[in-house]
Amino acid sequence: MKQSIHIYGSSLGIHQRGMITLFVAAVLLVMITLVTLFTARTTLMDQKITANDYRMRQASEAAQAGLEYAIAAINQVRAVDLDLDSDGELDDVATLQATVFSGSPGTLDNGATYQVDSITDITPAGGIAGVFDQIRVVATGWCDDRSISRTVTQVIKYKPFLMAAPDAGLAARNDVVLSGGVSVKNEETNITVRSGGTLGTNGGSGEVCNAINDCTKTANASDPTVQNYYGVFPEDPYFSSIAQADFFSTFFGMSLEDAKASASKTFEGDLKGSELLAYLTANPDTSVVYVDGDYTQTSGVIDAGIILIVNGDAQLNGKAFSGLIYATGGFDAGNATITGAVIAESDYAIKGTVDIIYDSSKFGNPALTPGGRVRLPGTWRDW
């Protein structure tokens, strides 16, 4: 009897321990299942976050690419090319689609896309007229499946081809000799001659006048007692301190090489005035001409009001020129009329009857002049 009871008790204990083991196993299985599900969910969420982040970067990069494209496209054209109907207003993107923004919409190598949304003239009072001085550019980018988009904006400002216009009718880095019946008139800035070297008349009159004396009388430019009153500044300390390699960039804010690349027209080799006149007659919208050689004008009248950059010597004899002449070499004139200004890195040799009338309105037409636009700091937005 005792033996039977003992056996029964042992079987009951074994059964109970089995139930506990089964319960613990079930609990562990449930916990493992929950952990697995949670891990799977977390992994899935991480994948979604990674995918969204990737697409967000795609959209942001595409939007920036669209903005860069728009700015580059605008910098490839002149201001007049942004106003096709010539109404004085900046045309919209749709109007300029074929001529300026033909690359919009565009697609990147990763499948993301962009488009230029709008360009808006926001030129403030006092801005450069006729060139859309400040433009707000808006571009949008999409990821490869177009599920995410980003929009960015940037304000760009017109950078004139001639960054710092000369303030004198004659500007020279070295010496100036005004022999014969030379007359320099400046009623705009009142500065007639500015040179880094000496100024002499070699026995000539070398007459100068400005608005201070209403040009009712003139004075000999070499007379030191009247030079300041008549706007004559020889041996200018600023001009004399500029290295020849930097003299051009002082006025244009760029190198000669960049000016050559940006000019409306470049002539390789020496150029005659008759050849320039023929070209300007056929191409009246020309504003900047670069001559990689000497320039000699003995015939024809150049009245286009252009910027003429001569990488060599410039010579005008017996004719008229309207515009700004810059010569990396010397400048020689005789029996000529120049309306605008002259800048030379080397010496002036002006003889005979030469009239120089300062007129900054002849320094190229800004609307026709190539000029890169630069980003205004602090105007980039992605909201």
pLDDT for res 353? 81
CB 154 within 8 A of CB 137: yes
Tokens 């976050």 belong to 49
The C-alpha angle 293, 202, 200, rounded to 5 degrees, equals: 75
pLDDT for res 1? 47
Q: What region, left, alpha or beta, does residue 352 occupy, with left being phi > 0 and alpha being psi -120 to 50 degrees?
A: left
- Cβ neighbors of 177 (< 8 A, separation 6 or more) are 199, 200, 201, 202, 347, 348, 349, 350
pLDDT for res 342? 94
pLDDT for res 290? 98
Q: What region, left, alpha or beta, does residue 361 occupy, with left being phi > 0 and alpha being psi -120 to 50 degrees?
A: alpha
DSSP conformational letter for 150: E
Q: What region, left, alpha or beta, does residue 5 occupy, with left being phi > 0 and alpha being psi -120 to 50 degrees?
A: alpha
The C-alpha angle 338, 219, 297, rounded to 5 degrees, equals: 20
> Residue 178's beta-bridge partner residues?
350
**Alpha-carbon gap, residue 175 to 50, rounded angstroms:** 69
Q: Is the dihedral of CA 282, 76, 267, 286 positive or negative?
A: positive
Closest C-alpha to 330, from 319, 345, 320: 345
- Cβ neighbors of 1 (< 8 A, separation 6 or more) are none
Cα–Cα separations (whole angstroms), residue 62 to 6, 65, 107, 325, 366: 83, 5, 8, 44, 33
* CB atoms inside a 10 Å sphere around CB 352: 15
| pLDDT tens digits in sequence order for the chain, 383 residues long | 455 555 555 565 666 677 788 877 888 888 888 888 887 777 777 677 777 889 999 999 999 999 999 999 999 899 999 999 999 999 999 999 999 999 999 999 999 999 999 999 999 988 887 899 999 999 999 999 999 999 999 999 999 999 999 999 999 999 888 877 788 899 999 999 999 998 887 766 668 888 887 776 667 777 777 777 888 898 999 999 999 889 999 999 999 999 999 999 999 999 999 999 999 999 999 999 999 999 999 988 999 999 999 999 999 987 899 999 999 998 888 888 999 999 999 877 777 788 899 999 999 988 888 778 999 999 999 98
> Residue 69's beta-bridge partner residues?
none
β pairing state of 337-344 and 265-268? unpaired
Tokens describing residue 219: 């004075």
